[in-house]
Structure 1
């Protein structure tokens, strides 16, 4: 979660009105999704729940931290970060402890209402299964080797997993630089540089053209390429949520 926090707390992801922030925090409270609590002076992370929002009195109520010694960490008066999710998108804010309280018969923490709330609109951390027909054949052009082709299995804002036919000359290797990966997405041709992040085992040797999963990370994406990918990921993610498959 620290990796998410390092990306989330930037001005570009700042919610600009109190109404938007309260709406997002309210969703987290209603769905009772886990809330990660990260004391800024400690490496350990803890979990909690957002139980109650009181905008008028500028405070929130969160459940006691798990593991239990986390409540002592935040009681030391240091600021801490909270990370949750609203509709699958990361939400974060900074706060500090006001006091430990009882809430509906259980231990809880009264914390300061955040001055600023951040909302990671770009879903680069989410990977979605690509719908059949949405993505055309993927081609990887290589240095000193023949191009290889495959089908996109899933896609995120930072890369994709491909079911790839095995090269006939030189095997793909983890860390290999790909000068060009090219594919169609919703009828639009896209191209970028990439790097091989992992090479999986062959799925089956019993078929005529066995495939293996290969993960790539996009490099030096153009703004148009990145926006096209993110639009698809967000649209597909909402579609899968409606279908109840995520």
Structure 2
């Protein structure tokens, strides 16, 4: 079952936190997502990829462009717009300048990291199943009421997750309520604080467990980066297993 709001487009937001920007760009690089590059005043669209991300020096390097007329325009110092799509999200940012560089003897263009980018979740976030063999933990803790629950993840996306809790917890979990003092543990990370909102819950009589859909409420950039890394790890594992099943 999907979250109620994940199938609907969300309004675009302006991302300005440096860590969140770096995390999104890193995801584009790791997934080898093609970039659509449009120069101001020109109708030709070019394609490239992120080849290096250097937060220390505040730079981003992209590959040579296809068609190569884009290399000429970038070399002339023309400003351009970058569009990319990752798991249903549209990312857009602008670059005022690009400089030719050599990375491991391969030509590329280096630009300053964007101070902001537009993020538009146009469809539901990618939902990754979590195998029982993967050690996870979610603790639901209410800030005002003495209610606390603990369980494990069934699946997770960039915007929320589904958890399995022992017993029938329907009375204690009300859709729309926030458990502000909750904590989440992913593999190779300590428990971290997160604000969780109840989206839906369902009691599974056969296993005497309650499945609860949760939305991450305004997680910080560092927390979002940990979640994104785990989702992408699960996605890569799912793709690897799918390839192995072909042989």
TM-score between the two structures when normalised by the length of structure 2: 0.50
Aligned residue among 240, 243, 247 for 1:242: 240
Alpha-carbon distance in structure 2 between the residues aligned to 1:169 and 1:234 = 31
The alpha-carbon deviation at position 176 of structure 1 amounts to 0.9
Please state whether the residue corresponding to 2:12 is helix, strand or coil. helix
The answer to whether the aligner puts 1:219 opposite 2:217 as a matched pair is yes
The whole-number CA distance in structure 1 between the counterparts of 2:160 and 2:170 is 25
- The answer to whether the Cα contact below 8 Å between 1:130 and 1:153 also exists between their aligned partners in 2 is yes
The corresponding residue for 1:78 is none
2:136 aligned with 1:130, yes or no?
Answer: no
Shift of 1:9: 9.2
Alignment partner, residue 7 of structure 1: 12
- Corresponding residue for residue 79 of structure 2: none
Matches within 5 A, 1:13-162: 15=35, 22-23=47-48, 55=67, 88=87, 90=89, 125-142=125-142, 143-162=144-163
Offset of 1:124 from its aligned partner?
A: 7.8
Contact 2:125 2:157 in 1 (8 A): yes
Tell me the residue number matched to 2:179: 178
For the pair 1:198 / 2:200, whether they are aligned, the reply is yes
Secondary structure, aligned partner of 1:154: strand
My pick for the range that moved more, 225-234 or 180-189, is: 180-189
Residues in 1 aligned to 2:134 and 2:46: alpha-carbon distance in whole angstroms? 34
- 1:22-59 per-position Cα deviation (integer Å, ceiling 9, x unaligned): 257xxxxxxxxxxxxxxxxxxxxxxxxxxxxx95899x
How far residue 119 of structure 1 moved from its aligned partner, in angstroms, is: 9.1
Larger RCO of the pair (alpha carbons < 8 Å, separation 6+) = 2
Relative to structure 1, the CA distance from residue 128 to residue 21 in structure 2 (aligned partners, 3 Å threshold; closer, same or farther) is farther
Contact residue 197 and residue 217 of structure 1 kept, 8 A = yes
Larger Rg: 1
Question: What is the Cα deviation at residue 2 of structure 1?
Answer: 7.7
Give the SS at the match of 2:131.
coil
Contact 2:36–2:47 at 8 Å: present in 1 too? no
With normalisation by structure 1, the TM-score equals: 0.51
1:233 alignment partner in structure 2: 231
Local SS of the residue matching 1:134: coil
Instruction: Name the SS for the 2:204 alignment partner.
Output: coil
In the TM superposition, what is the alpha-carbon distance from 1:190 to its structure 2 partner? 2.0
> Take 1:169 and 1:131, find their aligned partners in 2: how far apart are those partners?
24
Q: Distance in 2 between matches of 1:229 and 1:203?
A: 27
Structure 2 unaligned spans of 5+: 1-6, 26-34, 39-44, 50-65, 71-82, 93-117
Cα distance, 1:240 vs structure 2: 0.8
